Structure 1
Amino acid sequence: MNHNTKSNYNQEVESNGYAIINDVFSNEETQSFIYEIEQISDSLNKTFRKSKDLFAIRQFLKEVPTINKILFNDALKNILGQLLGNDYFVVKSIYFDKPEQSNWFVSYHQDLTISVDKKLECSGFNNWTIKQNQFSVQPTEKILENIFTIRIHLDDTDEKNGALRIIPKSHANGIVRLDSFDFNEAEEQIAKVKKGGIMIMKPLLFHASNKTINNEKRRVIHVEFSNLDLPEGISWSEKINI
């Protein structure tokens, strides 16, 4: 579903697991994002991942703090206020750059991990990993269902440069084992988003992305929000109040 108006997306996200809103950021704001990222991308450090297929910056809003002022413009704050209310905060941010020649693809999956500050045995928290000096864990389903992801697109994105392939409504079944999901029966859609537009998504929505075939970039800022505190002793590694 693709709307240029900023209404009905609460209902869409609830029902379909996602919504697309174009024209959230002006061309000037989008260019400002790209400029700020280029300023820092040469100073690679432990939260950066760079290969011919993917450039990624984890803890993006911490690594590039100048972005925050542009990111939380009036349009996005208005959307977040309507969608989330006033008590949500950032819990994860990543910048993804899928270059023009990228062969990187991601098969269907749900986003099942959160980033936390330390490893601590906790009921309902499983599959601990450390990625680029950051602890990740699969939390309880309640925590995952509470998260909203906003994907800000810095390029026009369609099926030729790695737009997300999604299965609408697939978030409604909670955590699903891949081998028990019948992808043949599922109705796939392509989440096309214009430059300066956003996609709102629930992490449990099944999504995938293809290789790039049109020699066009696909740059996305991925930000996750929650309003839940984690069990005592563990904190979100990247909590930022809006």
Structure 2
Amino acid sequence: MQGSHLQNITDNGFTVIEDVYSKDEILAVLRHIREADTDSDTFRKSAGLFAIRQFLKEVPGTSKVIFNDRLSQIITELFGEGYFVVKSIYFDKPEESNWFVAWHQDLTISVDQKVELPGFGPWTVKQNQFAVQPPLNILEDNFTIRIHLDDADEGNGALKVVPGSHLKGVYRPETIDWNAETETTCCVKAGGIMIMRPLLLHASNRTTNSKPRKVMHIEFSRAALPQEINWAEKAEL
């Protein structure tokens, strides 16, 4: 079973695994989120989006639920040892959301400070968080797990991807040749996960079916950064 998922990740840049979390585990995560202090700058609240950056730090009670035996086994079997968390975000896209995300790759990592280093750049700062594009080999080895707390499909903004685009380095959206590329929608049931490489081109449509979409987005790496900078959110598994 895991062999086919590994092949999907290698060839297509993503895979979907269902039934990683029970209904009780989903409810436990949502309870921790409801009880969190939302006054921090890492919480973003609007009519179309509720998001929590540095999610595992802000809502630490979720960690034991998220890293259950099933997920730990999946990570070990697909990627081996040595990985750690480097970024975590929670997205709640409400029923009335008109929010969408254009085609892009996840080209930056979060670090603790800005230092000019060979191979690192450009730099950005968002909500007092430094982000930088690292050398390509780091992005090629990183992976992201998206944990779905609601069913996601074409109607409520499930992720669209371009299979195989993770193998093409930095792939600017404006240069996509839609005569050669195809897109597919990654439908995932509540309790399931989508695993993807950060260089996979992905996008998300507006919600059209009045259904919510709550997702936890967790990025993993095993890269050692130059001694001048550190991972901003590093957490051991």
| TM-score, normalised via structure 2 length | 0.97
The yes-or-no answer on 1:212 pairing with 2:207 is: yes
Structure 2: which amino acid aligns with 1:171?
H
- State the Cα distance separating 1:181 from its structure 2 match: 2.0
Distance in 1 (CA, whole Å) between partners of 2:208 and 2:173 is: 27
SS in 2 for 1:229: coil
The within-5 A match list for 1:54-203 is 54-203=49-198
Distance in 1 (CA, whole Å) between partners of 2:155 and 2:39 is: 29
Distance in 2 (CA, whole Å) between partners of 1:189 and 1:112 is: 21
Determine the structure 2 residue equivalent to 1:19.
Answer: 15
Of 174-183 and 146-155, the range deviating more from structure 2? 174-183
Distance in 1 (CA, whole Å) between partners of 2:134 and 2:34 is: 34
Which stretches in structure 2 are left out of the alignment for 5+ residues?
A: none
The within-5 A match list for 1:44-59 is 44-59=39-54
SS in 2 for 1:126: coil
- State the Cα distance separating 1:43 from its structure 2 match: 2.5
Count of residue correspondences: 237
Post-superposition Cα deviations, 1:129-148, rounded to whole Å, max 9, x if no partner, equal 11111111111111111110
Distance in 1 (CA, whole Å) between partners of 2:47 and 2:177 is: 33
- State the Cα distance separating 1:79 from its structure 2 match: 0.1
Distance in 2 (CA, whole Å) between partners of 1:215 and 1:143 is: 38
Contact 1:47/1:133 (<8 A) preserved: no
Post-superposition Cα deviations, 1:136-187, rounded to whole Å, max 9, x if no partner, equal 1111111111110000000000010000011111111111122322134321
Structure 2: which amino acid aligns with 1:49?
R
Q: Which of structure 1's runs of 4+ aligned residues deviate more than 4 A? A: none
CA RMSD of aligned residues (A): 1.1
| TM-score, normalised via structure 1 length | 0.95
Contact 1:25/1:196 (<8 A) preserved: yes
Of 101-110 and 7-16, the range deviating more from structure 2? 7-16
Distance in 1 (CA, whole Å) between partners of 2:3 and 2:58 is: 33
Among 20, 31, 37, which residue is 2:33 paired with?
A: 37
